[in-house]
Amino acid sequence: MTDDDELRLHRWESHADLPLTVVALVFLVAYAVPILDDHLSPKWDRAYDVATWASWLAFAIDYVVRLCLARHRAAFVRSNLLDLAVVVLPMLRPLRLLRVLALVDILNRRAGSSLRGRVGVYVAGSMVLVLFVGSLAVLDAERHAPGSNIHTSGQALWWSIVTVSTVGYGDFYPVSTTGRLVGVGMMISGIALLGVVTASVASWLVDRVRQVEQGAQAATRADVAKLAAKIDSLERLLAQRDAPKA
């Protein structure tokens, strides 16, 4: 019976994958447009509000269904804390957009062959999403904050890039608590970006250097093969000697 549950959980997840990605894309629009267009008509404003709530409902239903289907509920909650936080805390709302990264996965399945190639596509996709969402979030938080200096979407995007690259000119910087939390997220992304880029180059270099070494290992393998041949001939020699005696 519990195995049945496990199976049903997996089936639900594979069925819910595409719809939830579509919901995330709808939420992306419903999240982005009211931030980018500060003077939306009340009618449209309400429409985007409804879309936001609908996407929240979809994520909440998905979480509850998965929780009900899970074999060990306590273990499920513990290993899906982020999912819970995204549903419960309205402040983490933009994290719902992480689901859009599923699109990068699809792209990867098509194009990627080597590990480094797939890492590259994933990093590039994540960076575009992080910069986009980070710019929106900081613009939302800072636009009307007292003493702030980020007021247009262009400034927000420029600030995002300057922060992720850890350059940090200081021509723009967040002053509100929410804006600074977004900034912390961008900095962590920047450190991760630097780490992944460096690691990829290092892995490539180490690989190229190692190819020489693998040649040496191949030589050992060849030696072992020669030994095997020698022993084979010994065996045959012994067998031949035995044959006439019989």
**In this chain, which stretch among 9-17, 19-27, 68-76, 231-239 interacts with its own copies, using CB under 8 A?**
231-239
Residue 77 in tokens: 């909650």
> Which are the contacts of 162, defined by CB distance < 8 A and separation ≥ 6?
168, 169, 171, 172
- String of contacts with its own copies for each residue 125-154, x by CB under 8 A: -----------------------------x
Could you give the CA distance from residue 138 to residue 12 in angstroms, rounded to a whole number?
35
According to CB under 8 A, which one of 90, 146, 170, 215 is a site residue for its own copies?
A: 170
Residue whose CB is less far from its own copies, 23 or 157: 157
Taking a C-beta distance cutoff of 8 angstroms, is the pair 187, 195 a contact?
no
Residue 4 in tokens: 């049945």
According to CB under 8 A, which one of 7, 88, 128, 205 is a site residue for its own copies?
A: 205
Verify binding: residue 158, its own copies, rule CB under 8 A.
yes
Verify binding: residue 206, its own copies, rule CB under 8 A.
yes
According to CB under 8 A, which one of 33, 134, 225, 243 is a site residue for its own copies?
A: 225
Q: What is the smallest separation between the CB atom of 228 and its own copies, expressed in angstroms?
A: 5
Could you give the CA distance from residue 184 to residue 178 in angstroms, rounded to a whole number?
10
* Torsion-angle region of 166 (φ positive above 0: left; ψ -120 to 50: alpha; else: beta): left
Q: Which residues in 92-121 contact its own copies (CB under 8 A)?
A: 115-116, 119
> Which are the contacts of 149, defined by CB distance < 8 A and separation ≥ 6?
142, 155, 171, 172, 173, 175
Which residues of this protein are in contact with its own copies, per CB under 8 A? 115-116, 119, 154, 158, 161-163, 165-171, 173, 175, 177, 180, 183-184, 187-188, 190-210, 213-214, 216-217, 219-221, 223-228, 230-235, 237-239, 241-242
